[in-house]
A and B are shown apart, each in its own frame.
Chain A
Amino acid sequence: MSTSGRFARLAFAMLLLSTAWAQRRRDPLNSLEEDQLRDAAQDPAERLKLYIVFARTRLTSLEQMRADPKVTDRAQQTRDRLQNFLDVYDELNDNLDTFVERKADIRKPLKAVIEADTEFQAKLRALKSSVDANKDGSKQYDFLLTNVLDAVDGGVQDHRQLLNEQEEAAKHKKK
């Protein structure tokens, strides 16, 4: 086989490998969102604001998909979009934990997170009611939806408690 033929085969094998790796790789954020997060690495308020936007985008896309009559694999797409939302919401919580460990004052962004929690909770509960009313294909994501609701319900409580703790700590600092 010629050198160019061997090179072409090698390049093809590498392409296949990279495609397989990309398919296996699971990341809820796209590269643009990753860049935005990287730019906000040192700013807790900005970073948390971004996570709220990313989570909201996932829920909006879920609502739009479910309202689209042309969608055929609704159950699978609902499942994927719910999982994406949950992944982003988990990362938001993980960032909150990190900022708390660093003893950062996150009272302002926390208020925005709590407002977003309430919004997410309402949207997810509406979805749950609609799913309970029309059981079509919901088996695929019923458990996940319950998990997502549990995560957001838990988040609401944790975030409010955290805000109270931060307010209390700020009062003591002032004294």
Chain B
Amino acid sequence: MRLRIRIVALLLAASLLASAKTETLQELIAREEAAKVEDRPALCTEIAERQLKAADELYTAGKEDEAQAAVKDVVTYSEKAHDAAIQSGKKLKNTEIDFRKMAAKLRDIKRSLNFDDQAPVQAAADRLESLRTDLLSHMFGKGK
């Protein structure tokens, strides 16, 4: 009997893990919209990171307009993550580190683009840096 319960529990855990891995962007966005404020920084950051990866792939595929829309999403969801982190006072450090890494990725993407396409990507990197600086100010009490 115990063995059966263990097997069922393992199967359940495996299916949960599999569903988490295959969660689409739309599902993730829906989850974020329904989430508690303290869970939003991580969810919004995950959405931003996914869109950043998508932007990179779209630029590589020569789909500049779609790539720019994805970059815009990166900024939008980073702003949401920033606001939720400040509102809840949770995940400030993790969010700050994630912003730092995303800004680095954006700068790296920018370097691979034609001069005409660089400005919005640089602007997004700058915006993330500014959000990051603001989080740091809150972490040290200046922004309270």
Q: Which B107-136 residues have C-beta < 8 A from chain A?
A: 107-108, 111-112, 122, 125-126, 129, 136
Q: Are B101 and A90 interface neighbours, CB within 8 A?
A: yes
- Give the distance in Å from the alpha carbon of A38 to the alpha carbon of B104 in the complex: 16
User: Given the interface contacts A27-B122, A86-B100, A143-B140, does A94 sit within 8 Å of B108 by beta carbon?
Assistant: yes
User: Given the interface contacts A26-B126, A38-B111, does A94 sit within 8 Å of B140 by beta carbon?
Assistant: no
User: Given the interface contacts A25-B122, A27-B122, A38-B111, does A94 sit within 8 Å of B129 by beta carbon?
Assistant: no
Asked whether B72 is an interface residue with its Cβ less than 8 Å from the other chain, the reply is no
User: Given the interface contacts A86-B100, A90-B100, A90-B101, does A27 sit within 8 Å of B107 by beta carbon?
Assistant: yes
Q: How large is the interface on B (under 10, 10 to 19, 20 to 34, 35 or more residues)?
A: 10 to 19
By Cβ-Cβ distance, the 10 closest A-B pairs, closest first, are A90-B104, A91-B104, A94-B105, A94-B104, A94-B108, A26-B129, A91-B108, A90-B101, A34-B111, A37-B111
B residues with CB within 8 A of A: 97, 100-101, 103-105, 107-108, 111-112, 122, 125-126, 129, 136, 139-140
Q: Which A78-123 residues have C-beta < 8 A from chain B?
A: 86-87, 90-91, 93-95, 98
Chain B CB within 10 Å, residue with most, of A25, A26, A27, A41: A26
Closest Cβ neighbor of B136 among chain A residues = A143
Note all chain B residues with C-beta closer than 8 A to A87: 103-104, 107
A residues with CB within 8 A of B: 24-29, 34, 37-38, 41, 86-87, 90-91, 93-95, 98, 143, 147
Note all chain B residues with C-beta closer than 8 A to A147: 97
- Give the distance in Å from the alpha carbon of A90 to the alpha carbon of B139 in the complex: 21
Q: Which of A25, A41, A86, A91 contacts B126 (CB 8 A)?
A: A25
- Give the distance in Å from the alpha carbon of A38 to the alpha carbon of B126 in the complex: 21
20 contacting pairs across A/B (C-beta < 8 A):
A24-B126, A25-B122, A27-B107, A27-B125, A29-B111, A34-B111, A38-B111, A41-B112, A87-B103, A87-B104, A87-B107, A90-B100, A90-B101, A90-B103, A93-B104, A94-B101, A94-B104, A94-B105, A143-B139, A147-B97
Note all chain A residues with C-beta closer than 8 A to B112: 38, 41
